[in-house]
Amino acid sequence: MIRGMTGFGRAQGQAPWGAWVWEARSVNGKSVDLRTNFPPGCEAVDFEARRRVKDRFSRGSFQLQLKIDWTKDPGGIAIDTRELARLARLSRHWSRSGVAPARFDGLVNAVGVVKGTVRTNNVVDETTAKDLLVGLDQALDMLAGARAREGEGLLQLFTAMLAQIEQLVAQSTEFAAKQPELVRDRFRARLNDIAKDAAIDADRIAQEVLVMATRADVREELDRLSAHINSARGMLAAGEAAGRKLDFLCQELNREANTLCSKSASLELTNAGLALKSLIDQFREQVQNVE
């Protein structure tokens, strides 16, 4: 099953050290192009994230974002009870003079009462990295699922378009069957013009016959078009990343359609060839969405 390149994945979780949220996005790209937005200290996670994306995907422009809410550690905080008691005595003293007594929260927030600061455990150790990478895999799973669903829709579209291309090739084959007769009529008219010139010899006539016969024969182009259609169906059914192969195949399909138009001796075949070119262009445009 082919896969698309557009998708979104999100995963979140919690651990004793804090909470995290992963977001993974991807759009079309010729190769794996990855941009990350991680908090400071996540260099090891960044390296492993890049490796995992490249292992799982072969094409696409990716954005990975990681947000971490670290658990606050109050272990470094202590209240100086002696300083708190001293300030409380001062508050009572000044209250006798008519000053409003201080509130408890005001006393606690006074300079010198609280010793130490709130510390944040923002070190990405081995345990933290393991938890984060489990979350990354969950987000990438969701992203891969979205790309697979896009691939299912593209497969239906490609199946219908290939059937239309095959139908046009069949019509072109019918029109091409009339080519020899049309070319013979044109050759007879051409031969009459040549015969008026006495200087034209048999060799020249033979050359004219060869050129016009070669120009009339489009069986090779039609056979290659049919072979390319079968190849495309095989690529779509293979279940592998097929974007680059399909893009190259579209170039080959377009080349054969161009040659078919250039060799056409009838308006019907020319119109069929132009319709083929238009449909192949539409096919190639959608191929740009395939991984």
DSSP letter for 200, please.
-
Neighbouring CB atoms inside 10 A of 58's CB total: 16
Residue 7 exposed, middle or buried by CB count within 10 Å (0-12, 13-18, 19+): buried
User: Residue 35: pLDDT above 80?
Assistant: yes
Radius of gyration of the chain (CA): 37
Q: Write down the CATH superfamily of domain 7-72+124-147.
A: Imidazole glycerol phosphate dehydratase; domain 1 (3.30.230.40)
Q: Are 24 and 49 in contact (CB under 8 A)?
A: no
**The predicted structure's pLDDT at residue 119:** 45
Cα separation, 251 vs 175, whole angstroms: 24
Cα separation, 142 vs 136, whole angstroms: 10
- Model confidence band, residue 195 (pLDDT cutoffs 50, 70, 90): low
Q: Are 133 and 19 in contact (CB under 8 A)?
A: no
Taking the domains of the chain in order of start, what are their residue ranges?
7-72+124-147, 78-115, 148-287
Q: Report phi then psi at 233, rounded to 5.
A: -65, -40
CA distances in angstroms from 23 to 8, 30, 67, 206, listed in the order given: 7, 22, 9, 71
Structure tokens, 110: 């006074």
Q: Are 261 and 218 in contact (CB under 8 A)?
A: no
The whole-number average pLDDT for the span 125-146 is 95
The whole-number average pLDDT for the span 12-32 is 94
CATH match for 148-287 among 1.20.140, 1.10.10, 1.10.3470, 3.40.50: 1.20.140
Cα separation, 60 vs 48, whole angstroms: 18
User: Residue 109: pLDDT above 90?
Assistant: no
**The predicted structure's pLDDT at residue 205:** 61
**What are the helix (H) ranges across 69-125?**
81-95, 104-108
**What are the helix (H) ranges across the chain?**
43-56, 81-95, 104-108, 126-176, 179-195, 202-216, 219-237, 243-263, 267-287
Structure tokens, 124: 């990405």
The whole-number average pLDDT for the span 201-230 is 78
- Model confidence band, residue 75 (pLDDT cutoffs 50, 70, 90): low
